[in-house]
Structure 1
Amino acid sequence: MQEPELIAALKAGHESAFRMLVEQHQDRVYTIALVIVRHPEEAEDIAQEVFIEVYQTVHQFREEAKLTTWLYRITTTKALAHHRKRKAQKRFAVLTSLFGLNNEVLHHPPDFHHPGVSLEQKEEMSTLFKAVDRLADSQKVAFVLHYIEEQSHREIAEVMQVSVSAVESLLHRAKQNLRKQLGPYYKERNNP
């Protein structure tokens, strides 16, 4: 089914069209969410929320961009909002423990393990994704969409609602920041 037909079927409320949309895009939606939030269970929840929102609001889709662009925009927005909320909760927990309101100590989040990464690459990928997690949100989204989801600069610009030159700038800054963060790690690995 071509995209215009799929959109028409979605807007008409055909369950089979929605099932097709989910089957075609669930892995990519999950991967984008996973890279941003770094917790598989949370990424699954976000992916479900994305498809629920699409189902509930598809009649509002104006078809000014591709359906995948709209889907990725919803995904990145939800994942970033979730990530920001969790960071705020962590900061609050740290402040709470500093002031002695409870004795819980905030632990570091679990290591990130993407399902497509082999055992020998897990340490390196974990280090990379921790560095990606420290990027500014806009750099993180551009980096994930370009290097993991293999989106073009134009597609990323549509998802992020910025210019192509802004995407290029974000990717350039993301690479510079990652080089700074990962330089010592790779230097140590290559010179034991």
Structure 2
Amino acid sequence: MTEQELVYGLRNGDEVAFKELVLRFQDRVFNTALGLLQHSTDAEDIAQEVFIQVYRSIHQFKEESLLSTWIYRITTTKCLDQLRSKKRKKRFGFISSLFGADNTPLHEPGEFNHPGVQLDQKEDAALLLKLVDQLPENQRTAFILNKIEELSYREIAAILNTSEPAVDSLLQRAKQNLRKKINELPP
């Protein structure tokens, strides 16, 4: 099924087209969400929300970009909205339940398990993603889309609704900030 046939089928409520959509994009959507959220349950929830939104709003897809770009944009937006929502909740009282009197975490984050990372590299990947998570939102998003999802600057620019030079700048700043954070780690 071509992309145009897929979009046509979705616009006409075709179940086969929806199944094809999910089969074609489920791994990419889940992996992108997992990279941004770093929690598999949250990534699964976002993936479901993405496919529901795609199905409900397919009539708004203008076909000015690839369907995959539009889906990445929806995924990224939903993930960033969830991260912002979590940060707001923390500000309003949950922070005290997560941190002790000396500001040390009472709970460690869950185990990191990204399907694209080999077992012997999981510890390094988990540490790197903890550092990536400390980057400003736009740098973090560009970094994950480029380094984990292996999207081109053009694709990232379309997803983030910015220019390719702006993506390059975001990635350069992300790399500089990560180098600084890595150098600050204890030996």
TM-score > 0.5 by shorter chain: yes
The two structures, once aligned, show a CA RMSD in angstroms of 2.0
Deviation at 1:49, TM superposition (A): 0.2
Partner of 2:94: 93
Q: SS in structure 2 opposite 1:151? A: coil
Partner of 2:180: 180
> Could you report, residue by residue, the CA deviation over 1:6-59 in whole angstroms, capped at 9, with x for unpaired residues?
111111111111111110110010011011111100100000000000011101
**Cα separation, 2, equivalents of 1:107 and 1:33:** 22
- Amino acid of the structure 2 residue aligned with 1:12: N
Report if aligned partners of 2:32, 2:144 keep a CA contact under 8 Å in 1: yes
**Cα separation, 2, equivalents of 1:76 and 1:46:** 10
Partner of 1:49: 49
Call closer, same or farther: CA 1:28–1:94 in 2, change over 3 Å: same
Report if aligned partners of 1:93, 1:106 keep a CA contact under 8 Å in 2: no
**Cα separation, 1, equivalents of 2:111 and 2:133:** 12
The normalised TM-score by structure 1 is 0.88
Q: SS in structure 2 opposite 1:36? A: helix
Deviation at 1:139, TM superposition (A): 0.8
Percentage of identical aligned residues: 51
**Cα separation, 2, equivalents of 1:140 and 1:96:** 26
Matched, 1:164 2:150: no
**Cα separation, 2, equivalents of 1:97 and 1:7:** 45
> Could you report, residue by residue, the CA deviation over 1:147-187 in whole angstroms, capped at 9, with x for unpaired residues?
111111011100100011110000101111111111244x8
Call closer, same or farther: CA 1:58–1:106 in 2, change over 3 Å: farther
Q: Which runs of 4+ in 1 moved over 6 A?
A: none
Q: SS in structure 1 opposite 2:47? A: helix
**Cα separation, 1, equivalents of 2:87 and 2:115:** 24
Deviation at 1:123, TM superposition (A): 1.1
Query: Which runs of no fewer than 5 residues in structure 2 stay unpaired?
Result: 100-104
Report if aligned partners of 1:94, 1:106 keep a CA contact under 8 Å in 2: no
**Cα separation, 1, equivalents of 2:25 and 2:47:** 10
Report if aligned partners of 2:98, 2:107 keep a CA contact under 8 Å in 1: no
Aligned length: 182
**Cα separation, 2, equivalents of 1:111 and 1:128:** 13
**Cα separation, 2, equivalents of 1:134 and 1:176:** 13
Partner of 1:101: none
